[in-house]
Amino acid sequence: MEGCQPWPDEIAAFYREKDCWRGETFGQMLRVRAEKHGNKIAITDGGKQVSYETLDKRVDQLASGFQKLGFKKEDRVVIQIPNTVEFFEVCFALFRLGVLPVFALPSHRYSEIQYFCELTEAKAYIMPENFSGYHYHEMAKTIQRESSTLEHIITLGASEELEQLADLYLEEEYIQPNVYSNDIAFLQLSGGSTGLSKLIPRTHDEYIYSLRKSNEICRMDENSVYLAVLAIAHNYPLSSPGVLGSLYAGARIVLATRSSPDEAFPIIEKEKVTIVALVPPIAIIWLEALKTRSNDFTSLEIIQVGGAHFNAEIAKRMQQAFGCKLQQVYGMAEGLVNYTRLDDPEETIINTQGRPMSPYDEIRVVDEEDREVELGEVGELLTRGPYTIRGYYKAEQHNAKAFTLNGFYRTGDLVSLDEAGNIVVEGRIKDQINRGGEKIAAEEMEDHIASHPNVFDVAVVSMPDQFLGERSCAFVIPYEGMITKVEMKDFLIKRGIADFKIPDRVEIVDTFPQTSFGKVSKKALREMITKKLSPTY
């Protein structure tokens, strides 16, 4: 597909020969599960229960409706759907037509959605009317007015003005196009570090392989019950093993829209949840909440924690407090996923972020000159393998920097390896802030802030935070006087930027410290703010 880096033929042949890629597509996969599991419940969403058979039927009805709207193979559709049954119906209907969903997060706003629509020349945008106190309707109309490709705005809610998803479930037959397992199935989002977030093309073959391996490691089967508390459009709850892994296993998905103990704990008890995926800040809240609750957690077998650095002391307490297995997950939407194994020694589970899930994952830990470092030394992690992309979507220039000549992806993460091959994430060289699992590209925010009329220069860096691990701090040199945090926030909200990217702190300075090459020293800025935040300052 245009804009996507194809797999080299001999490498694709190798992954097929090794039985990694089995020629399955998502559309077929669901059909096969529906034939096998029939009226077994696939998804529980509050009071709503959907069986595999019904899901499969609803997907066909929607595919028929989408085809009638004119959706064709290789079209792109930006979807911004919270944790609801519609997420699955829409995704699989698009998969069956060979149309690519672009996975926006519910927290994204005008600036992000507009960019995804424009970059992908999206034909449609599907979103809720309201979610978590935000009304998407006006934003959607603005984006459509400005776009030359967006033909359809489809709402999950009720609207007289927009097309409604509910009207698109048609009983009529539709023509199933040929969708191949090596076709691009969807575009996933990267955390981004330079400028706006890059889009990640994933094929059916390689993504399904990653589900199968994840299921094996997490022992997912028909009896598993996966609780989704994180936004399922994100790669981690989508695929590690996540909701798609659950469907692959014939398991049951339980959807929640909030991760608070008030909502999640009774669900675990009632639905007999066996596995749940968390990010570190939520794990901390759950651990605290346990002190005052007496919910029954006996069904719970695995709590996964990943997406950001997880403190070892808390990891240890977590494992003891919940009486189930803790699993650390270190993954990336670009591909590579590492898990601690369920039967690993406690030391490994607590102190490492696990090891690659596939024997065909290749990893290298290198210094600044791409030379491999000694075992145990810290270096950048490079990787390639049967489910790690070879290039971002329509990003030729960036790809030349983000991948080595022989196809290794430069993760931008600093890691070390132990003797058993387990990875410890030690830091990062990419210019990104990891705010409790939510990724902020510093450059993207700098571009926004620099457009404020009173900003002469700006640098955005991470600052330590006990709860989120990191928060973002904008160092600003104003033309004159002050810019307060509130003023900055108002300005950025008006520009339509996701809330989590708005700087948590604004520091006004006269100049920036510089490196010996005359560039802004972000390291020095991080040290400045860390010192200022320390209790002895």
Residue numbers at the binding site for ligand J2J (CB under 6 A)? 190-191, 235-236, 239-240, 306-309, 328-333, 337, 353, 411, 413, 425, 428, 434, 439
Give Cβ neighbours of residue 358 (< 8 Å, ≥ 6 apart).
20, 209, 213, 385, 386, 387
* Residue 491 beta carbon to ligand J2J: minimum distance, rounded to whole angstroms: 26
CA–CA separation, 18 and 148 (whole Å): 44
Nearer to ligand J2J, 439 or 471 (CB): 439
Q: Is the peptide bond before 241 cis (omega within 30 degrees of 0)?
A: yes
Beta bridge partners of 125: 78, 153
Q: How far is the CB of 28 from ligand J2J (least distance, A)?
A: 23
Q: How far is the CB of 190 from ligand J2J (least distance, A)?
A: 6
CB of 119 to ligand J2J, least distance (A): 18
The CB-of-437 to ligand J2J minimum distance in angstroms stands at 6
DSSP-derived secondary structure for 222-281 = TT-EEEE-S-TTSHHHHHSSHHHHHHHHT-EEEE-S---HHHHHHHHHHHT--EEEE-HH
Nearer to ligand J2J, 441 or 525 (CB): 441
The DSSP H or E segment spanning 103 is strand 100-103
Give the nearer residue to ligand J2J in terms of CB position, either 217 or 329. Answer: 329
- The rounded distance, in Å, linking the Cα atoms of 303 and 313 is 16
CB of 381 to ligand J2J, least distance (A): 8
Nearest residue to ligand J2J on Cβ basis: 331
**Nearest distance from C-beta of residue 200 to ligand J2J, angstroms:** 8
Around Cβ 447, how many Cβ atoms within 10 Å?
A: 14
CA 218, 188, 372, 521 torsion: positive or negative? Answer: negative
298: left (phi over 0), alpha (psi -120 to 50) or beta: alpha
Nearer to ligand J2J, 333 or 463 (CB): 333
Segment 229-232 long-range contacts (CB within 8 Å, at least 24 positions apart): 229/256, 229/258, 229/259, 229/263, 229/264, 229/276, 229/277, 229/278, 229/282, 230/259, 230/277, 230/278, 230/279, 230/282, 230/437, 231/82, 231/83, 231/105, 231/106, 231/107, 232/83, 232/87
Q: Least CB distance from residue 340 to ligand J2J, whole Å?
A: 10
Taking the least distance from each CB to ligand J2J, the nearer of 133 and 427 is: 427
What is the nearest approach in angstroms of ligand J2J to the Cβ of residue 245?
10
Radius of gyration of the chain (CA): 23
Rounded distance, CA 226 to CA 224, Å?
6
Distance, in Å, from the CA atom of 519 to the CA atom of 516, rounded to the nearest integer, reads 7
- Residue closer to ligand J2J by CB (options 67, 190) is 190
Which two three-digit tokens encode residue 303?
């709590």
Return the axis-axis angle of helices 85-97 and 26-37, rounded to nearest 10°.
120
Residue closer to ligand J2J (CB basis): 170 or 366 = 366
Q: Is 55 helix (H, G, I), strand (E, B) or coil?
A: helix
DSSP string, 151-184: -EEEESS--SSSEEGGGG---S--------TTSE
Least separation, in Å, of the C-beta of 155 and ligand J2J?
Answer: 27
Name which of 114 and 434 has its Cβ closer to ligand J2J: 434
Q: Which is nearer to ligand J2J, 103 or 475 (CB)?
A: 103
Beta carbon nearer to ligand J2J, 64 or 422: 422
CB of 236 to ligand J2J, least distance (A): 4
By C-beta, is 153 or 308 nearer to ligand J2J? 308
Measured from the CB atom, the residue of 329 and 525 that comes closer to ligand J2J is 329
Per the listing, tokens 């009207």 go with 167
- DSSP letter at 308 equals S
Beta bridge partners of 363: 383
Token pair for residue 373? 């470092």
Taking the complex as a whole, how short is the minimal distance between the CB of residue 189 and ligand J2J, in angstroms?
8
